[in-house]
């Protein structure tokens, strides 16, 4: 099994490399422009590192998914820069920096041929799945926004106007969701609890009650079933 997989990988490398070469040769002017832009970015990055390595590391963290998504529903009560600064201060910089470095070192071990081969395999997988797609049905995705928090507020209406979230404890915990009052402070789902509390010290955090959420979800699906018998 391993030998056949290796053979496919070699074949993919050759074919995908040919595709890359042919596509590059078609647009030499675009390639030159891209090289110039890339060179400028590298020179700028090197200069930033020489001036202030900590600043460069912080910039990478600020661009990560740890920080505020301005498109998230309910956000906007506090400036993005202020939220990001609090998150950055609450994060364990040394640990995060070490993890980023380890990931960069692992990524550097992959050659251009490895990446090209993997990309070709994925492209083929997508093509196979595209052929199997069934477009005869219409699927509607309904997002029950802040669902866990909304269910909890049904039992405790006093929390409606207060920043609250559902999730784990401050030490090692993560939020499942947060209501709109909490989102005004920059608190959101999938955020570490200790960071959420740094953003909003008065945040009320409830432990998840999944059986209760399951019952409410069944009621909602029953409503959908009235409109779609399938």
What whole-number distance in Å separates Cα of residue 226 and Cα of residue 138? Answer: 16
Domains and CATH numbers, the chain: 2-132 (no CATH), 147-227 (3.40.1170.60)
Query: What is the structure's pLDDT at 98?
Result: 77
Query: What is the structure's pLDDT at 17?
Result: 46
Q: Is the pTM of this model over 0.75?
A: no
Residue pLDDT, tens place only, 108-154? 898 999 999 999 999 999 999 998 888 888 888 888 889 999 999 99
Query: What is the structure's pLDDT at 149?
Result: 96
Low-confidence ranges of the chain (pLDDT < 70): 1-77, 92-96, 229-230
Residue pLDDT, tens place only, 23-43? 444 444 444 444 454 555 555
Query: What is the structure's pLDDT at 125?
Result: 94
Within the chain, strands assigned E span 164-167, 175-178, 204-206
């Amino acid at each position: 099994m391993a030998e056949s997989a290796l053979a496919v990988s070699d074949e993919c490398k050759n074919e995908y490399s040919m595709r890359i070469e042919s596509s590059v040769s078609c647009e030499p002017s675009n390639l030159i422009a891209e090289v110039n832009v890339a060179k400028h970015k590298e020179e700028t990055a090197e200069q930033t590192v020489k001036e202030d390595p900590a600043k460069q590391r912080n910039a990478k963290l600020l661009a990560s998914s740890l920080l505020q998504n301005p498109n998230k529903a309910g956000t906007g009560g506090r400036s993005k820069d202020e939220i990001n600064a609090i998150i950055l201060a609450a994060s364990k910089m040394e640990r995060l920096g070490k993890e980023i470095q380890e990931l960069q070192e692992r990524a550097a071990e992959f050659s251009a041929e490895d990446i090209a081969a993997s990309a070709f395999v994925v492209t083929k997988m997508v093509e196979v799945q595209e052929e199997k797609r069934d477009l005869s049905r219409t699927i509607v995705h309904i997002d029950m926004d802040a669902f866990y928090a909304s269910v909890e507020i049904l039992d405790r209406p006093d929390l409606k106007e207060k920043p609250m979230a559902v999730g784990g404890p401050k030490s090692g915990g993560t939020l499942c969701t947060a209501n709109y009052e909490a989102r005004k402070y920059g608190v959101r789902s999938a955020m570490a609890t200790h960071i959420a509390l740094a953003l909003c010290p008065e945040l009320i955090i409830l432990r998840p009650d999944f059986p209760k959420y399951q019952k409410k979800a069944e009621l909602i699906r029953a409503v959908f079933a009235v409109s779609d018998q399938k």
